[in-house]
Amino acid sequence: MQTEVLFEKFGGEGTIEKVVDYFYELVLADDTVNQFFKNTDMEKQRKHQTKFISFALGGPNQYTGGSMAKVHAGMNLQPEHFGAIAKHLHDALAHFGVQEADIDQVLAKVSTLKDDILYK
């Protein structure tokens, strides 16, 4: 299945906004990763993440943020942090009824970013 179809299948940006909001509820409740967001403008972060995920799934929004390596520089993220974020994304998508096969496809796409995010 192509990513453009996934964006449409998920209900477009409106649904992705809801998924992102729920995703950050999970992230901010998790002591494994919530410290990385202590000084973050979460409204701005949610909007940014919605655009990024929409773009990654083939939606019309153009992602204009920095490279993954640049935006994660100095954070020294470890595999357990990446895993926690991936789990929360999985759970947020599942919460909104996304099928497991589609979730696997999204997580596979996210996993391609791992080298640009970890140990920076």
pLDDT tens digits for the chain (120 residues)? 455 578 888 889 899 999 999 999 999 999 999 999 999 999 999 998 998 888 778 787 666 777 888 989 999 999 999 999 999 999 999 999 989 999 998 899 889 989 999 998
* Number of residues in the chain: 120
Helices (H), the chain: 3-9, 12-28, 42-56, 68-71, 79-95, 100-111, 114-117
Question: What residues have CB less than 8 Å from 62, skipping those under 6 apart?
Answer: 51, 55
pTM: 0.89
How far is the C-alpha of 113 from the C-alpha of 69, rounded, in Å? 9
User: Which CATH code for domain 3-117?
Assistant: 1.10.490.10
